[in-house]
Amino acid sequence: GCIQLTEVLGVGAYGVVYRAFDMRTGVQYAVKALNKVGLEPRQRSFQEREIQLHHQVSQHPNVVSLVKVLDSPDCTFVVMEFCPEGDLFSRITEQGFYIGRDALAKNAFLQILEAVEFCHSVGIYHRDLKPENILVSSDGITLKLADFGLATQDYYTSDFGCGSTFYMSPECQQSNSRPNACYASAPNDIWSLGVILVNLTCGRNPWKKASMEDSTFRAYMKDRSFLKSILPLSSDLDHILSRVFDLNPAQRMTLPELKQAI
């Protein structure tokens, strides 16, 4: 076609993301090249699911828009809007952009909530919410959710260990050998949002993993005021986090409650 790939932006589990531009219009895009060669049918169906679920929510202003899908014999090219300012992770870690800027952090978090709430409203659960999968534009003011590679439409799932360890809920990490064991997808996303909220406001993670093997997490489960003693949290924020980081997924704060509390 008329789209030229210019440089590699990132390499993921399923393929490579390139910076590209349309030679006719000069518009820049991000293009995810998904390899089709030698894939098992299961992996192929994962790719199709990623594209289909992303397409379903792509019109939301806080989701990266999927422009079109181009097919070649050995590759599927997913053409998306390009966000030249990179991801939220580098904004937080390299630039400390939101630290001490409460209004900016609140605005950023509310946009992430809007995107996730929209996904949930159409029955799509992201399962890999983290700053690396949230892109930034308009000088850090606008945020857009990306990467639906692990997204699902299953309200209950038995995919344990799905996502990134720092952001996984405790129930998602249980390597359950029980037959028919499962956990709810929505509260798992909420837990990840809580960790992102700590990232935005404090510039770091609350723990390495939400498991009793982790000393910080263990201390927080024993004493709910522990996080406030090691992180610069306001009492309001500490209270919100205690509702988000509820070990019981059914008792965990819901998205509408979280939006209202913020």
User: Which of the residues are catalytic?
Assistant: 128
Q: Environment class of residue 116 by beta-carbon count within 10 Å: exposed (0-12), middle (13-18) or buried (19+)?
A: buried
Whether residue 208 is annotated as binding a ligand: the answer is: no
Beta bridge partner(s), residue 144? 135
Q: With 0-12 CB in 10 A as exposed, 13-18 as middle and 19+ as buried, what is 90?
A: middle
Q: Which has the closest alpha carbon to 89: 231, 7, 244, 204?
A: 204
Selection from 171, 172, 241, 236 nearest residue 205 by Cα = 241
- Please tell me what DSSP assigns to residue 63: B
113 within 8 A of 48, measured Cβ to Cβ: no
| Binding residue numbers for ATP | 32
| Binding residue numbers | 32
